[in-house]
Amino acid sequence: MPRDHLLSLRPWASPEITSWRRLPMNAVDRRSGALCLDGSWHFRLLPSPDSSPGEWTVTDVPGAWTMDGADDPPQYTNVRMPFGDFPPESPTANPTGVYERSVDIPAEWAGRRIVLQVGAVESVLLVQVNGTPAGLSKDSHLAAEFDLTDLVRPGEQATVRLTVVKWSDASHIEDQDQWWQAGLTRSVLLYATDPLHLADVTVRARQDGRLRVDCTVRDTTGPLPEGWYVTAALDGQLLAQDTEFDRRNAQDMRVSDFLGEARLRTVVPDVRTWTAETPELYGLVVRLHRADGSVADASHHRVGFRDVAIVGRDLLVNGERIFVRGVNRHDFHPLTGRTVTAEDMRADLVLLKRFGFNAVRTSHYPNDPALYDLADELGLYVVDEANIESHDHAHEIADDPRYLPAFVDRVSRMVLRDKNHPSVIIWSLGNESDYGANHDAAAGWVRRHDPTRPIQYEGAAKLDWADPALASDIACPMYAPIEDCVAHALSGRQTKPLIQCEYSHAMGNSNGTLADTWAAIESTPGLQGGFIWEFWDHGILQRVNDGRPAGRGGAGLYDSGVTAPGHRWAYGGDFGEAVHDGAFIADGVVFPDRTPKPVMYEHREIAGPVRLTYDDGVLRIHNRQHFRGLRWLAAEWRLVQADGTARSAPAALPDVLPGGSAEVPLPFPLPEPAAGEVWLTLRVTTADDEAWAPLGTEVCVPQVLLSPAVAGAPPRPASGPAVTLDEDALLVHPLLTSAPVLSLWRAPTDNDELGGMAARWHDWGLDAPARTVRKVVDVREEGSRVVVLSEYATGAGPVRHEQVFTPVTGGVRVEERAELPAGLDDVARVGTVFETVPGLDVLDWYGQGPWESYPDRSAGAFVGHHSLPVDELFTPYLRPQESGGRHGVRRFTLSAPDATGLAVELGAPAQVSVNRYRAQDLAAAAHHDELVPRPGCVVHLDAAHRGLGTASCGPDTSAGYLVAPGTHRWEWTLRVL
């Protein structure tokens, strides 16, 4: 048969061409005994399906040719399609990969049904076996199975050819916000069954212990044989047969002798229920027997007993209203793209559990099957999302009848594959595809097939959060301001749970107001949480010398967010693509190597199972869980005083019911008020090994203030050398290479850039070096003090700045005042910046830490005495920007190894950052390999610092975190150690 026989149908261009010989999706476990075809395959990449064959090379399966240094690199777009053709058309220049290998068909498979399973392919799969067409598939994120029984001979070799066409009509409904890839991205398996086999198994396990197992049976050789039957055992105990159902089934057999059904039921006494907090699983084995009792087929499942329901405006799991502390997650790896291993996925979910997440939305397609097994085991709720996103042509496609079969096919196949997982609590019809008849058709199929779970779809819900007639049982908006959510919940119109499918966009230095958002959610009935966008920064490890992905050979080259020399994290545009959306792909709560960003610690405290309150002298411990007590936790008290005194003691956690609290005695006597502020911290850890955390893993660190600071007398002026100023009336100090000047600007964050603030700051001239816009107005001496009045020119009028220098013992006190005109209504910061001599490489500070924090993202940083090398303070967001700040700093020292250096005492808690880069250095760089560290330290002391917000995609920070015009005052004291 000619090579192009299969291709001549042009299935990549015709929505009418359906799955051909592809088998129906099912939930039968076929992994046991399968022959894995992963490994080396012959491969050639053609510029289009109709191109002449090229030379064979070798490639690894699974994998994407776009990640292996081929001439077709990955490309990132968010909304735009990477080509201009309108649906259902696709471009003529259409990269096509041809994979081929020989397979030894086991002789013992003689007389059996033989099936090829291709785990995932992007985008169109065409299968040939021994030169004969075997079928095609277009759904790039679900497995496609093909019956090869009549195409191969057991005991002989077979040639399997898998042709992958990159672009098709289906590409228009796979327009997700991610890298465009191409290849065989999941495992390829070959397995055999008896002709009499389980065609599907449906498990329904209820919270009250009721279990029902429905089985569909087929025989590929003809009518079902007489006498077959099905048995099942749960943890070794046999289930009862539903005899009434079997009698009805026998009558049905007279209508169709090729399809059989069986139902088994039982009630489990004292059932252990499944929740994300208590992921209890039972082992279920379903066996299909021939008349003589021998086993023809079997399927293994892990069963979790739980109920999901919507009652009024509440989503309930096992009758309890839960908070959904979720994250959106793609299948992604910085070396292999969409190809991920079970070990990769376990590491993802373990990390999420350790940082307080309890839910995952599989954005925006069904994830690798192993993820659902792991979610069942570790305990995570899953919103399972269909592989449908038509972002660039959403309105046209939603009602296009040519795409109707694809919508129903993709949604139904997802449900059929994943329906037996207790972790899946909600079905999603897809993402950002407008709303039309195609969605209603898919929703109707789901409601009929699986009435045990609700459906959500943001495209429908956004039309009216309260309309019960729309195809979404949940109001699931994207990036809705929390004020709007609260107003809706209080309006009296709410009819559905409000759970945002995306909120708090994690692009760069972001996720401001997360704690405020959750304070509103927890205090407002009708609000139940949402899913942060997203888990990963999708940076691809790139070789800088040739601009190609590092590929599988890059393993071990990256660590802790910083790549090895000669490599960097690539984002949109870094592979030479003309159409791309830049760093918008770098919007996760972890770096590409899974290193947590600082926001993870913020989320961990917000979601922590234990909280502390201290009111009117009463200390209380609160259990913030839905289903679990506190016995699985251990804890330690720590008392910290401003003077550096610290005490520790074991903590005996009370046995508090979920949602309850208990008063506990103070573990230490309160120090005298003269000792300054006093903080009590409870370090909570796992008391035993958990599936996601070994014994001793830190779970949360709640903290309360027991005694506030007592205002002390300011430092006395000292006799001795007066303050020295240079000819520009700037402070001269032996440890400073650049004198303290006013700072109103920061290297724009991604939120600043995309939210429009960076452009305003540039128009105002705030990014100009201070010396170029500063004019000295007056210098005068007042006793031992020197007063310097300056003006800084801006596009909105001059900023008047006063510095008062007073010598004190061992140093100088600096009192500052800045008057911002009304036109400067939203600046980045108001404070001081200076630079130090080299060699001061360790920062010790008293304030919030140890990780980065900002005014609207500081709940996860506890007050204490912290110490870090200066080079570890900086956070390497993929696009360099403002980072590394510490909020609420009271004092700090910068020291050399011999303990010399400088000390700074703040008159009030301030935002402080110390790193090796000026703000201009960061703003000028697109990647970290372009940055050159300065030998000394760049130090910012901010009396006011703008919140981070999430304006790159979502609400900006709250008004209370903006830096307003008017008069700002701050003071600090600089001493030599």
Is the CB of residue 196 less than 8 Å from the CB of residue 267? no
Tokens 């958002």, residue? 517
Sign of CA pseudo-dihedral 912, 917, 922, 928: negative
Taken in order 453, 454, 457, 460, is the CA torsion positive or negative? positive
- Whether 242 and 460 have beta carbons less than 8 Å apart is answered as no
How many Cα atoms occupy the beta-carbon half-sphere of 588 within 13 Å? 28
CA distance 448 to 440: 12
Active-site annotation holds for 502: yes
Taking alpha carbons only, the member of 553, 154, 175 closest to residue 334 is: 553
CA distance 881 to 644: 33
Catalytic-residue membership of 389 = no
Element (H, E) at 233: strand 229-234
| Cis preceding-peptide flag for 88 (omega within 30 of 0) | yes
Would the CA dihedral through 620, 626, 630, 633 be positive or negative?
negative
Contact 200, 286 (CB under 8 A): no
Q: Which of 145, 389, 432, 605 is catalytic?
A: 432
Which tokens go with 122?
């992007």
Distances (CA, A) of 952 to 4, 504, 751, 753: 47, 10, 4, 7
Token readout for 551 is 């590929």
Handedness of CA 316, 434, 532, 885 (dihedral sign): negative
Q: In this structure, what DSSP letter does residue 516 have?
A: H
Query: If DSSP codes are grouped into helix, strand and coil, which group holds residue 520?
Result: helix
User: DSSP readout, 685-743?
Assistant: EESS-BTTB-TT-EEE--EEEEE-----PPPPB-SSSPP-B-TTS-B--TTEEEEEEEE
The per-residue DSSP string of 22-90 comes to BPPP------TT-EE--EEEEEEEESSTTSPP---EEEEESEEGGGTT-SS--EEESSS-SS-PPTT--
The residue from 385, 502, 677, 905 that is catalytic is 502
Residue whose C-alpha is closest to residue 112's, from 2, 215, 197: 197
Q: Are the C-beta atoms of 879 and 750 separated by less than 8 Å?
A: yes
Structural tokens at position 80: 């735009």
Closest CA to 130 of 309, 286, 262, 6: 6
Residue owning tokens 């070798």: 58
Active-site positions read 432, 502
